[in-house]
Structure 1
Amino acid sequence: MGRRWGIVVMAVALLSASCASSQASRAPTVAPTAGSSTPSQAPVTAPAVPDVADAPVVVLPPPDFTSTISEITPELAARMEPSWRPGCPVPLEDLRYVTVTHRDFAGEKVQGELVVHADAAEDMVTVFRALFDAGYPVRSMRLVDDFGASDDASMDADNTSAFNCRAITGGTGWSEHAYGRAIDVNPVENPYVSGSSVGPSAGREFVRRPDSPGVIHGGDEVVGAFAAVGWLWGGDWDSPVDYQHFSPSGR
């Protein structure tokens, strides 16, 4: 009996140890007290979510070249009274107001303006985008009305302009400018030459100076940009020679 009793006592002891171990594994983790050498378990936190309101605002620079094409408004028609009048060969509704970015002679970006025929508006945007990308400078690009529709005054100011209801130079028929299908570019650097006559007079010193900014030469980026939209250069005429002039008809 003594042997059996000893076996029973040993079995009870093993069972008690097993139960204690099981209870310990299910017991909650208790944070250690101060001075305890038991390592503490770091709390688990969710990753921080950035606040959209605190995100930096990225401001994109405006595009280098911009353009607009619009119809002639009543306000613009009033401004154009010097250059358009009843009896002109093209009605106002067939004209378009065009703005394009160009570079001036200091390399700064400037917004210029033109009035051209509706069927030439897209071509002018295409041309001046190419000239802007090429870095070609334009001295001034304002409506000829700012000069009282005087072609001479506009040229003297080295102003690039298009529509002007006027007769052809030295003649009585309508100029291509009267249809909005011609443009004069940098007139001082690219004057009209007829024999010994040069217009504007300030253009005399620029006649075919290859090293001067703004001077147009055959085969250069200006002639090429206009040729790409089907416009011809007056610099190719025999006599007179109109270095500033471009038109789709070649007149």
Structure 2
Amino acid sequence: MRGGGLIGVAVLVLAGCAAPDVPRSSPSPTPVQVSAPAEVAPEPADAPVVASAPAFTSAISEITPELAARMEPSWRPGCPVPLEDLRYVSVTHRGFDGLDRQGELVVHADAAQDMVTVFRALFDAGYPVRSMRLVDDFDASDDDSMAADNTSAFNCRAITGGSEWSEHAYGRAIDLNPVENPYVRGSSVAPPGGREFAGRPDLPGVIHADDEVVRAFASVGWLWGGDWESPIDYQHFSASGR
């Protein structure tokens, strides 16, 4: 009985020593400092524009009725190649001003892909082309096209100074930068503006033996008129070498 009484007293004493329950308040959340979004300074008006890398593009298509109407100066019934055997070719070329442009040619169907191959190589090499428009824009006048330094291919015409069909009449020849690369026969130079280039100065657009232009055409089997003895046709490349 003594033991039980002592245990009871101890329980009462311990109960009296316990701290009373005090309601606890939840801790206040620590305020988060939110920075105001930083203002992004606008780009200056004269900020340089990053241009995308130059890209060569090309397309080959058949002669449409609309294009056939445009080609009335350069093609007519009786030409040695029918319109259905010709192709319209569009290729990117570098201008003398450093800007890229889309040029156009009409060539024989069997030469179309070769011209794309050649002008892709010339574009990659940075070779400049002054103008590349159909000779019809000059009323099919070879003289006017050359004087404008225009690169062209198909033209249903005879050879210079002769009566036989030119390779241009078959769409298997091209004249490239005629002013920088003139036709020379003795003291005669065509176009006249090409006289200062007849001596083959090392200037943009001037074609030299075994340069990137000659090699590009040679890669598709086309030969250079600059290798002829007389006349010398520095602008002329053809599949037959004529």
Q: TM-score, normalised by structure 1?
A: 0.79
Task: State the partner residue of 1:162.
Answer: 153
1:206 aligns with 2:176: no
| Per-residue deviation, 1:10 | 6.7
- 1:133 positional shift: 1.5
State the SS of the aligned residue for 2:88.
strand
Q: How many angstroms does 1:12 deviate by?
A: 11
Cα 1:154–1:3 shift into 2, 3 Å: same
Mapped partners of 1:105, 1:175: distance in 2: 29
1:149 equivalenced with 2:156 (yes/no): no
Partner Cα distance (2:192, 2:109) in 1:
33
- Deviations 1:81-123 (CA, angstroms, capped at 9, x unpaired): 0000111111111111111111111111111110011111111
Alpha-carbon distance, 1:210 to partner: 2.6
- Residue aligning to 1:65: 56
Please give the alpha-carbon distance, in whole angstroms, between the structure 1 residues aligned to 2:100 and 2:173: 24
* 2-structure distance, mates of 1:156, 1:225: 25
Q: CA deviation at 1:76?
A: 0.4
1:163-242 → structure 2 map (5 Å cutoff): 163-242=154-233
Please say if 1:93 is aligned against 2:84: yes
Q: Which residue, 62, 67, 89 being the options, matches 1:76?
A: 67
State the match for 1:3 in structure 2. 3
Letter matched to residue 243 of structure 1: Y
For residue 2 of structure 1, report the CA deviation from its aligned partner. 2.6
Paired amino acid for 1:4 = G
- Deviating above 6 A after TM superposition, structure 1's stretches of 4 or more consecutive aligned residues are 8-14
For structure 1, list consecutive stretches of 5 or more residues without a partner in the other structure: 15-29, 33-37, 43-59
Q: 1:3 to 1:248 in 2, by over 3 A?
A: same
> What is the Cα deviation at residue 41 of structure 1?
9.0
Cα distance in structure 2, aligned partners of 1:83 and 1:236: 28
Structure 1 residue 39: deviation in Å? 6.3
Check 1:127–1:5 CA distance in 2 against 1; reply closer, same or farther (3 A cut).
Answer: farther
Q: Take 1:232 and 1:181, find their aligned partners in 2: how far apart are those partners?
A: 11
Aligned residue number for residue 129 of structure 1: 120
Letter in 2 for 1:116: V
1:132 CA displacement? 1.2
- Once residues 209 and 228 of structure 1 are traced to their aligned partners in structure 2, the CA distance between those partners, rounded to angstroms, is 23
Cα distance change, pair 4–223 in 1 and its aligned pair in 2 (3 A): same
Shift of the alpha carbon at 1:79? 0.2
Instruction: Report the secondary structure of 1:110's partner residue.
Output: strand
Alignment check: 8 A CA contact 1:141 1:159 kept: yes
Mapped to 1, the partners of 2:110 and 2:25 lie a distance apart of 84
Alpha-carbon spacing, 1:9–1:240, altered in 2? closer, same or farther (3 Å): farther
Q: What is the identity, as a one-letter code, of the residue corresponding to 2:180? A: E
Question: Paired residues, what number?
Answer: 223
Question: Where in structure 2 are there 5+ consecutive unaligned residues?
Answer: 15-23, 32-50
Question: Which letter maps to 2:216?
Answer: A
CA 1:247–1:11: 2 relative to 1, 3 Å? farther
Q: Which amino acid aligns with 2:193?
A: A
- For residue 201 of structure 1, report the CA deviation from its aligned partner: 1.3
Give the Cα separation in 2 of the matches to 1:166 and 1:5.
138
Distance in 2 between residues matched to 1:31 and 1:234, nearest whole Å: 101
User: Which residue pairs with 1:24 in the alignment?
Assistant: none
RMSD after superposition = 3.0
Shift of 1:68: 1.2
Does the 8 Å CA contact 1:155/1:187 hold for their aligned counterparts?
Answer: yes
TM-score between both structures, scaled by the size of structure 2 = 0.82
